[in-house]
Amino acid sequence: MGNQEIVQKLWNLCHVLRDDGITYHQYVTELTYLLFLKMMKETDNEKLLPEAYRWDSLSSRHGTELQKHYRQLLLDLGSAGNETIKQIYMNATSNISEPKNLEKIMLSIDQLDWYSAKEEGLGDLYEGLLEKNASETKSGAGQYFTPRPLIDVIVKLVDPQPGERCHDPAAGTFGFMIAADRHVRSKTDDYFDLGEWEAEFQKNEAFTGVELVKDTHRLAMMNAMLHDIHGQILLGDTLSSDGESLKNFDVILTNPPFGTKQGGERPTRDDLTFLTTNKQLNFLQHIYRALKPNGQARAAVVLPDNVLFESGVGARIRADLMDKCSLHTILRLPTGIFYAQGVKTNVLFFTREKTDKDSTKDVWVYDLRTNMPSFGKRTPLTEAHFAAFAAAYAAEDRSKVQDERFQVFSREDIRRKDDSLDIGLIEDESLSAYGHLPDPVDLAEEAMAKLEEALVLLGEVVAELKAAEGSEVWRDE
C-alpha cells in the first residue's frame, strides 16, 4: 500500500466524525494529535514523550477511560516537556465527543501499512494529507494552498545551496521550506557529502519560517519534524514587531496570504518605508528588505495581480523594489490553480543587489495564463506545464529564446507605464487573456463544502438554543 492509498484511507476517516459536527480542518488537526504519537512510535522517537502519554497508553484504553486519558494527554503535552512537543500540542483540545469515534480512528490508524509508509517517508505521508485537505475543502485554510508542482518548480529555479539561510515569512504548513530541504538533500546525498557542522546547520538552522495561525503553525511544526527539519518556526505575525528582526536571508520563498490585514489596519511595525493596508504589498516590502544586500540573495514570491498595478503607494513600493533588487522575471500564472475560483496570481523572482538604486535593468515576463486550460480536478496542474517556462528562465541568453509567451520590458518601458508591472499578457481576442470559465465540477464541490460548513454551524446554533430553552433568558424572550 503506497502513501497515496494511506492518505485516502486516513481522509475517509473524516466521515466517522461527521456526526460529531467536526469540520475538515478540525479533523486534520485532530488527526495530527494522534498521528504524531503513532509516528513517534514507528520512528523509535518516543523518548521525546512522557511514558504515560505514548501511543500504547491510548491503545490500551477504551470508552470513557480512553477519552478522559486522551484529553488529559493533550493538556499535559501542551504545557510541559520537550519544546517542540509543547508547540505542537499548545492549547490543543479535542472536538471528538463520542468515545467510540475516537476508538475507531485509533484502530484504523493502527491497521495502516506502516512498513510501506516508512519506506516512502512519513513526512511525505503527512504532507500528502495536508495537500488532500487543501484540495478537498476548497475553503478556509486550504483556499490558497500552493500547489506542489508550482512549489517544486520555484525551488528548482531559485536553487537553494548548502549553507544558505532559507526562510518563509508566511510559512503555512512549511511546504516551501520542506521542498527546499529536499532540493538541497538531493544535491548532497542526503547531507552525507557535507561535513558534520554543515549537516547540523542544514537540519537545525537552514530552514525557518513564521506562521500566524495557531492550528496551521501546529501542522507546520509536525510537518517539519517528520521531515527531520528542526529550524525555528515562529508563531507570530511577520507584519508586526515579530518581523523586524527577520533579516539577512540568502533565500526567501513564500506565498503570502491574500486579502487585507484584519480590520484594514496598517502593519504594527515601524521599520517599513511605505505605509499601506495592502497585506501583500507589506509582505513584499518585508521580503526585499530581509534579503542580504550582497548581489546573490534571492526571492520568489507568489502575489495576486493587484500588487502589479495598484497605484499610489503600490507604485512607490514597486519602484523601491526595482531600485534595491534586480526584478528579472515575472511568471503570470494561469487561473484555477488556487482553490478560490478566479484568483489571478504571479510569481516575482528577484535578487537583492549591493546598491539601493537602479538595480533592475530588464524585466522578463512569461505569460502562462493566455490560452491555457482551466485547471481543476479534471485538469490537474503538473510540473510538465512549467517545462517551457523553466527552459526560458534558465537560458544563458534569453534574447535567443523562441517563445511568444516570453517578453522583455526595459526599466524605462515600465517607468513610462507609471511603474505598473501588469504587463506581458498576450493579446488574443479569441480568448480572454485573464483566464477561463472555472471547472463546473470544482464549482459544485466548492458549493457543497460551503453547504457542509453552514450545516455544521446551524447544528451548533440549534444546540445552543436547546440548551438555553429552560433558562430565565429564554422564558423572558
| Residue 350 burial by Cβ neighbours in a 10 Å radius (0-12, 13-18, 19+) | buried
Q: What is the pLDDT of the chain when averaged over all its residues?
A: 84
Write down the pLDDT at residue 446.
Answer: 53
Q: Is 364 in a helix, a strand, or coil? A: strand
More confident residue, 436 or 92: 92
Write down the pLDDT at residue 435.
Answer: 44
* Dihedral angle of Cα 232, 235, 238, 242, to the nearest 10 degrees: -80
pLDDT, tens digit (0-9, with 9 covering 90-100), for 103-160 = 988 888 888 888 777 777 777 888 887 777 766 654 444 445 788 899 999 999 999 9
Confidence band for 289, pLDDT divided at 50, 70 and 90: very high
Write down the pLDDT at residue 7.
Answer: 80
DSSP per residue, 240-296: BGGGTT---BSEEEE-PPPSBPGGGPPPB-S--SS--SBHHHHHHHHHHHHB-SSS-
In the predicted structure, residue 455 carries a pLDDT above the cut 80: no
In the predicted structure, residue 72 carries a pLDDT above the cut 60: yes
Write down the pLDDT at residue 427.
Answer: 81
- Please state the φ and ψ torsions of residue 119, each to the nearest 5 degrees: -65, -40
* Residue 293 near residue 354 (C-beta atoms within 8 A): yes
Tell me which of 20-24, 87-91, 235-239, 468-472 is least confident: 468-472
In the predicted structure, residue 95 carries a pLDDT above the cut 90: no
Q: Per the confidence metrics, is the pTM higher than 0.75? A: yes
* Residue 23 near residue 456 (C-beta atoms within 8 A): yes
Write down the pLDDT at residue 433.
Answer: 40
Tell me which of 8-12, 61-65, 170-174, 245-249 is least confident: 8-12
In the predicted structure, residue 23 carries a pLDDT above the cut 80: no
Write down the pLDDT at residue 380.
Answer: 82
pLDDT, tens digit (0-9, with 9 covering 90-100), for 157-166 = 999 999 999 9
> What CA–CA distance (Å, rounded) separates 97 from 151?
38
Stretch 230-235: mean pLDDT, rounded?
Answer: 94
More confident residue, 452 or 174: 174
Write down the pLDDT at residue 63.
Answer: 93
Write down the pLDDT at residue 17.
Answer: 67
pLDDT, tens digit (0-9, with 9 covering 90-100), for 295-305 = 999 999 999 99
DSSP per residue, 170-232: T-TTSHHHHHHHHHHHHHTTTTTTS-HHHHHHHHHTSEEEEE-SHHHHHHHHHHHHHTT--S-
Q: Which of these, 313, 347, 303, lies nearest to 328 by C-alpha position?
A: 347
Write down the pLDDT at residue 137.
Answer: 52
More confident residue, 408 or 337: 408
Write down the pLDDT at residue 18.
Answer: 64
106-115: long-range contacts, CB 8 A cutoff, minimum separation 24: 106/34, 106/58, 106/59, 106/66, 108/9, 108/10, 108/13, 109/10, 109/34, 109/35, 109/38, 110/38, 110/59, 112/1, 112/6, 112/9, 112/10, 113/1, 113/6, 114/38, 114/42
End-to-end CA distance of the chain: 58
Write down the pLDDT at residue 28.
Answer: 77
Stretch 357-385: mean pLDDT, rounded?
Answer: 90
> What CA–CA distance (Å, rounded) separates 182 from 205?
15
> What CA–CA distance (Å, rounded) separates 121 from 410?
46
| Residue 388 burial by Cβ neighbours in a 10 Å radius (0-12, 13-18, 19+) | middle
More confident residue, 409 or 428: 409
Write down the pLDDT at residue 43.
Answer: 83
* Residue 298 near residue 324 (C-beta atoms within 8 A): no
C-alpha cell belonging to residue 258: 491574500
* Residue 13 near residue 132 (C-beta atoms within 8 A): no
Write down the pLDDT at residue 406.
Answer: 97
Q: Is 350 in a helix, a strand, or coil? A: strand
Stretch 448-457: mean pLDDT, rounded?
Answer: 58
